[in-house]
A = this chain, B = another copy of it.
């Protein structure tokens, strides 16, 4: 049994991690920590009433060291990097769900998040936790930077094309619509029910923080710098991201060739599925799957990608990474 601490259990991704761990046959939830909202987890999230009797406690590093083999760190970015070094020092492996260890270049981090990186030493060692691309390195890692929800969809959609040089590396367009769980737990005017219901709008125009993250990884895959125009929208539903990518083909390519390319690229992947028509968001919510449909239309390569932002886009992928870190079957708790 892997003993798991969820650090920052009072937020949405923390709660989703707990939800998934409850069904994991070889992991045991041993420690829940929070900063402000302490007390029984089932007081914070009534859906855990009768299912989780543990309290959320203030983080105590010696308790953590005693109780846990791994910490899923669900703190917000900027906070996470002040905590992760302590978690590692306590002897835990760490899967960090924040953005703090995703950007390899501390200067890009500073530019994107507006403050100096507090933990460059661990930043240098962190592995980007997208198993489909970095499984071997994750296996050896102590610290995994769990990918963002939008980047997971975008990168999985673009990787086969870039790797096989079937699209040009000029600007990729990623048009995405996300459910509102992605906005987190804090009430705001934009996501107040009477404002958000029956609504849809774009945000982060020209400056969403996931842009450099996507660019870093797709450039890595392509072996050269790739630009990304990433445009997110918020839609009136709880869960899921639906992304539509538009790219310029490199040479001639047919939809059938793309299907085969994707099938072949992801052949052994348990959580990537290639479709022959548009995925429906509702078919992937509450699952760890990413569904992809690549096609050619009007001379462009278009790829549709759907996943659950809370699962493959956050907690599910974190647990997939945890499984890899501990040599478990990668799909445990996730099918």
Contact assessment for A47 and B335 in the assembled complex, using a CB-CB cutoff below 8 Å: no
Q: Which residue of the partner chain B has the closest CB to A296?
A: B206
> Contacts A197-B238, A237-B197: A202 and B298 contacting too (C-beta < 8 A)?
no
In the complex, the answer to whether A235 meets B235 with C-beta atoms within 8 Å is yes
State the number of copies, please.
4
Q: Which B residues are CB-close (under 8 A) to A286?
A: 286
Q: Does A323 contact B (CB under 8 A)?
A: no
Query: Using an 8 Å CB-CB cutoff, how does the interface string of A237-254 with B read, 1 for contact, 0 for none?
Result: 111101010100000000
Asked if A150 lies at the interface with its beta carbon under 8 angstroms from chain B, I say no
A150 to chain B, nearest CB (A): 15
- Indicate if A58 sits at the interface (CB-CB under 8 A): no
Residue from B231, B291, B298 in contact with A49 in the complex, judged by beta carbons closer than 8 Å: B291
Instruction: Say which residue of B50, B197, B242 sits within 8 Å of A180 (CB atoms).
Output: B197
Interfacial residues of chain A within 188-206, with CB under 8 A of chain B in the complex: 188-189, 191-203, 205-206
**A328→B195 CA distance, assembly (Å):** 34
Report B-chain residues with C-beta under 8 Å of the C-beta of A297: 205-206, 229, 231
Establish whether residues B298 and A229, one from each chain, have CB atoms under 8 Å apart when the complex forms.
Answer: yes
Tell me how many residues of A have a C-beta within 8 Å of chain B.
Answer: 79
Q: Are A47 and B238 in contact (CB under 8 A)?
A: no
Asked whether any CB of chain B lies closer than 8 Å to the CB of A173, the reply is: yes
Interface flags, A155-181, vs B, CB<8A=1, else 0: 000000000000000010101010111
Q: Mark A275-301, 1 if CB is under 8 A from B, else 0.
A: 101111111111101010101111110
Whether A115 sits at the interface, judged by CB under 8 Å, is no
One digit per residue, 1 when the CB lies within 8 angstroms of any chain B CB and 0 when it does not, for chain A 48-73 equals 01110000000000000000000000
What residue in chain B is nearest A270 (Cβ atoms)?
B50
Q: Of B198, B242, B296, which contacts A237 at CB under 8 A?
A: B198
Given known contacts A191-B192, A198-B282, is B233 in contact with A242 (CB within 8 Å)?
yes
Q: Is the CB of B278 within 8 A of A202?
A: yes
Instruction: Answer whether A203 and B278 are a contact pair too, CB < 8 Å, given A23-B23, A187-B189.
Output: yes
Q: Which of A210-268 contact B (CB under 8 A)?
A: 227-229, 231, 233, 235-240, 242, 244, 246
Which residue of B has the minimal Cβ distance to A300? B229
How many angstroms from the CA of A299 to the CA of B228 in the assembled complex? 10
Write out the residue numbers on chain B whose beta carbons fall within 8 Å of the beta carbon of A270.
50
16 inter-chain pairs at a CB distance below 8 angstroms, sorted by A residue, are A49-B291, A51-B335, A171-B298, A175-B244, A185-B194, A187-B191, A197-B197, A197-B236, A201-B242, A201-B279, A205-B278, A227-B298, A231-B244, A235-B235, A235-B236, A236-B236
A residues at B contact (CB < 8 Å)? 12, 22-23, 25, 45-47, 49-51, 171, 173, 175, 177, 179-181, 183, 185-189, 191-203, 205-206, 227-229, 231, 233, 235-240, 242, 244, 246, 270, 273, 275, 277-287, 289, 291, 293, 295-300, 302, 304, 306, 335
A25-B25, A46-B275, A193-B238 known, 5 other contacts, Cβ within 8 Å: A177-B177, A177-B235, A180-B194, A201-B280, A206-B296
